[in-house]
């Protein structure tokens, strides 16, 4: 955050904030807000997303999706040597069988090694 | 940094390594070390610096010196030297395993090879399971364990949930808070000889009827190093203590339950843990009655952490945001597939437990 602009209304200094990826300047004196070109539209878009009917989290990525259930892609669906669901299983809230392969996700690789 | 490097000389290196020619292990290609002290990691307010064959760790401000001292003494026990990386003793005080720089407590460790995300496909699932089983079977009645605190688990959960509450209507926040709302409160574990009242506040640790063991508290693959000539060892004793051993299996269990971990790797880990006599799960049959709660809690912590980062409210800041929520919003980062899987799992948790809390 930094001071870059002077408020056109009360002439106090304005402070830059980053709100959800949008830079806004807010006056320390009168709390007025200055938006750059396009930022109002960006905020309106965000607001529309926010106001969407609350609902379930985003669906799983299409390549893995299966109608009527949780994704259970073929590559890891219970390889033969481990086909003992009783010993490994899944909790009631689990994803289904196996998993779709951590190596496809950079995020998963990072998560293996950090808190 | 310079103070850390000077401090390295005040610890006694591990004898076999000190005698083994060039200081420290050779690095694999592409990971050569620079000479002089090198920052290994800097996270929150912990700093880890490598000085030749010794790694120094400056523990977080506010770390309880009695608790850390007990944890370090434990890590130096000969009985655990094949499980935990041994803490190095100060040169002039063989029973002292930490020194101070200013207000910071600093411990010293032999340098080994740590793993990182480039090792994702070759992570040592079976050795990890074996090591955790050995840790959990460590005898816990010994006098050396006096003063050892309960383990810390779910270090981030309460903080991240608090950061999300101002955004309770957000579609990504709704399932996370709903899953958190059906997570039961669990009593503290009680260490041998410790009255319950002296235990630190801990939201979630042990359910009645579950075993209590010496546990790591924050286990993942970043908590393993390969010590040259010795093999895999568990590092980072900051959360070590008494607790339900299922907490050390909670992250892999959460990864598997959320569909991120293929069953063959999960099976290698769990088989090795069971073969080593690990007490967290029954030797055969369904492990989920034991793992369900820790895996759920970690899933919620992962989801809350990812969504807080996505909304730009993850980093604490002294500045007040314009909306006065108490959290300064940083820049929004995209929620990756892994974060989405955790949020989706939270929705399943909320719906699976809504009618049967607990």
Question: How far is B180 from B182, CA to CA, in rounded Å?
Answer: 5
Assembly ipTM: 0.80
Residue B186 lies in a domain: yes
Question: Do B158 and B243 belong to one domain?
Answer: yes
Question: How far is B326 from B126, CA to CA, in rounded Å?
Answer: 44
Residue among A18, A98, A112 whose CB faces B117 most closely: A112
Residue B118 lies in a domain: no
CATH number, domain with residue B308: 3.90.1200.10
Q: What is the pLDDT of residue A21?
A: 63
Q: Would you call A65 an interface residue with chain B, using a CB distance cutoff of 8 Å?
A: no
Q: Would you call B141 an interface residue with chain A, using a CB distance cutoff of 8 Å?
A: no
Q: What is the pLDDT of residue A56?
A: 44
Burial class of residue B242, CB neighbours in 10 A (0-12, 13-18, 19+)? buried
B74-116 pLDDT, tens digit each: 999 888 999 999 999 999 999 999 999 999 999 999 999 999 8
Q: What is the pLDDT of residue A62?
A: 34
Cβ neighbours of B341 in A, within 8 Å: 60, 95
Place of tokens 């694999």: B28
Q: What is the pLDDT along chain B (358 residues), one digit of tens a residue?
A: 788 888 888 998 876 544 444 444 444 544 544 567 889 888 777 899 999 999 999 999 999 999 999 999 999 988 899 999 999 999 999 999 999 999 999 999 999 999 988 999 899 999 999 999 999 998 765 566 667 888 999 988 999 999 999 999 999 999 999 999 998 875 555 444 444 433 344 434 567 788 888 999 999 999 999 998 899 999 999 999 988 999 999 999 999 999 999 999 999 999 999 999 999 999 999 999 999 999 999 999 999 999 999 999 986 544 333 443 434 455 677 899 999 999 999 999 999 987 654 4
Cβ neighbours of B262 in A, within 8 Å: 75-76, 98-102
Question: Do B101 and B167 belong to one domain?
Answer: no
Rounded to an integer, what is the distance from CA A4 to the centroid of its chain?
30
Residue B116 lies in a domain: no
Question: How far is B187 from B123, CA to CA, in rounded Å?
Answer: 34
Question: Do B89 and B230 belong to one domain?
Answer: no
Question: Do B98 and B129 belong to one domain?
Answer: no
Task: Please identify, among B85, B111, B137, the residue that sits at the C-terminal boundary of a domain.
Answer: B111
Q: What is the pLDDT along chain A (115 residues), one digit of tens a residue?
A: 455 678 888 888 887 776 666 677 777 777 788 777 777 777 777 666 655 544 444 443 333 333 333 333 333 333 233 334 578 888 989 987 545 544 456 788 999 998 8
Q: Are B220 and A113 in contact (CB under 8 A)?
A: yes
Question: Do B324 and B213 belong to one domain?
Answer: yes
Residue B286 lies in a domain: yes
Residue B345 lies in a domain: yes
Q: What is the pLDDT of residue A105?
A: 61
**Strands of the sheet with A13-19, listed across from one edge:** A3-6, A13-19, A22-27, A33-35
Question: Do B60 and B207 belong to one domain?
Answer: no
Q: What's the per-residue H, E or C state across chain B?
A: CHHHHHHHCCECCCHHHHCCCCCCCCCCCCCCCCCCCEEEEEECCEEEEEECCEEEEECCCCCCHHHHHHHHHHHCCHHHCCCECCCCCECCECCCCEEEECCEEEEEEECCEECCHHHHHHCCHHHHHHHHHHHHCCCCCCHHHCCCCECCCCCCHHHHHHHHHHHCCCCCHHHHHHHHHCCCCCCCCCCCCCCHHHCCCCCCCCCCCCCCEEECCCCCHHHEEEECCCEEEECCCCCCEEECHHHHHHHHHHHHHCCCCCHHHHHHHHHHHHHCCCCCCCCCCCCHHHHHHHHHHHHHHHHHHHHHHHHCCCCCCCCCCCCCCCCCCCCCCCCCHHHHHHHHHHHHHHHHHCCCCC
Q: What's the per-residue H, E or C state across B96-114?
A: CCEEEECCEEEEEEECCEE
B302-328 pLDDT, tens digit each: 999 999 999 999 865 443 334 434 344
Q: Into how many domains does chain B fold? A: 2
Percent of chain B exceeding pLDDT 90 equals 61
CATH number, domain with residue B80: 3.30.200
Residue B69 lies in a domain: yes
Query: CB–CB of A86 and B330 under 8 A?
Result: no
Q: What is the pLDDT of residue B35?
A: 61
Q: What is the pLDDT of residue B225?
A: 96
Residue B120 lies in a domain: no
Cβ neighbours of A76 in B, within 8 Å: 262-264
Instruction: Give the range of the structural domain holding residue B187, as residue numbers without chain letter.
Output: 125-353
B254-288 pLDDT, tens digit each: 999 999 999 999 999 999 999 999 999 999 999 99
Output the CA torsion sign for B211, B215, B218, B221.
negative
Residue B272 lies in a domain: yes
Question: Do B174 and B291 belong to one domain?
Answer: yes
Question: Do B100 and B77 belong to one domain?
Answer: yes
Cβ neighbours of B329 in A, within 8 Å: 17-20
Query: CB–CB of B220 and A113 under 8 A?
Result: yes
Q: Are B242 and B215 in contact (CB under 8 A)?
A: yes
């Amino acid at each position: 955050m930094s001071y870059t602009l002077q408020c056109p209304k009360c002439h106090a200094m304005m402070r830059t904030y980053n709100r959800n990826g949008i830079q806004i300047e807010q006056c320390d004196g009168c709390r007025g807000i200055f938006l750059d070109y396009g930022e109002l539209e960006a905020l309106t878009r965000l607001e529309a997303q926010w106001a969407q009917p609350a609902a379930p989290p985003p669906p799983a990525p299409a390549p893995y999706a299966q109608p009527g259930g949780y994704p259970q892609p073929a590559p890891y669906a219970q390889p033969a040597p481990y086909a003992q669901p009783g010993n490994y299983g899944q909790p009631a809230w689990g994803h289904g069988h196996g998993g779709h392969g951590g190596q496809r996700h950079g995020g998963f690789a990072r998560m293996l090694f950090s808190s | 940094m310079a103070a850390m490097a000077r401090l390295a000389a005040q610890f006694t290196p591990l004898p076999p390594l000190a005698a083994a020619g060039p200081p420290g292990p050779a690095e694999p290609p592409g990971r050569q070390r620079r000479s002089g002290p090198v920052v290994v990691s800097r996270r929150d307010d912990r700093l880890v610096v490598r000085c030749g064959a010794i790694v120094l760790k400056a523990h977080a401000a506010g770390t309880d010196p009695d608790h850390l001292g007990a944890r370090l003494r434990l890590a130096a026990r000969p009985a655990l030297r094949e499980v935990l990386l041994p803490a190095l003793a100060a040169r002039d005080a063989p029973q002292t395993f930490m020194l101070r720089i200013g207000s910071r407590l600093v411990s010293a460790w032999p340098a080994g090879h740590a793993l990182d995300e480039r090792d994702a496909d070759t992570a040592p699932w079976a050795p990890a399971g074996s090591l955790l089983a050995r840790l959990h079977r460590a005898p816990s009645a010994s006098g050396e364990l006096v003063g050892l605190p309960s383990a810390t688990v779910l270090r981030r959960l309460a903080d991240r949930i608090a950061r999300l509450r101002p955004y309770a209507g957000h579609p990504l926040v709704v399932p996370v808070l709903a899953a958190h709302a059906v997570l039961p409160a669990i009593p503290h574990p009680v260490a041998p000889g410790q009255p319950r009242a002296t235990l630190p506040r801990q939201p979630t640790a042990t359910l009645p009827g579950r075993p209590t063991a010496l546990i790591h508290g924050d286990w993942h693959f970043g908590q393993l190093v390969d010590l040259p000539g010795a093999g895999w060892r568990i590092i980072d004793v900051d959360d070590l203590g008494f607790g339900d051993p299922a907490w050390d299996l909670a992250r892999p269990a959460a990864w598997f339950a959320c569909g991120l971990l293929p069953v063959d790797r999960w099976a290698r880990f769990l088989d090795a843990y069971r073969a080593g006599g690990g007490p967290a799960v029954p030797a055969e049959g369904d492990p989920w009655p034991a793992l369900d709660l820790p895996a759920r809690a970690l899933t919620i912590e992962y989801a809350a952490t990812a969504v807080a980062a996505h909304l730009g409210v993850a980093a604490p800041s002294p500045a007040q945001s314009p909306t006065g929520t108490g959290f300064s919003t940083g820049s929004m980062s995209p929620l990756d597939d892994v974060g989405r899987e955790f949020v989706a799992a939270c929705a399943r948790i909320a719906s699976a437990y809504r009618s049967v809390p607990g």
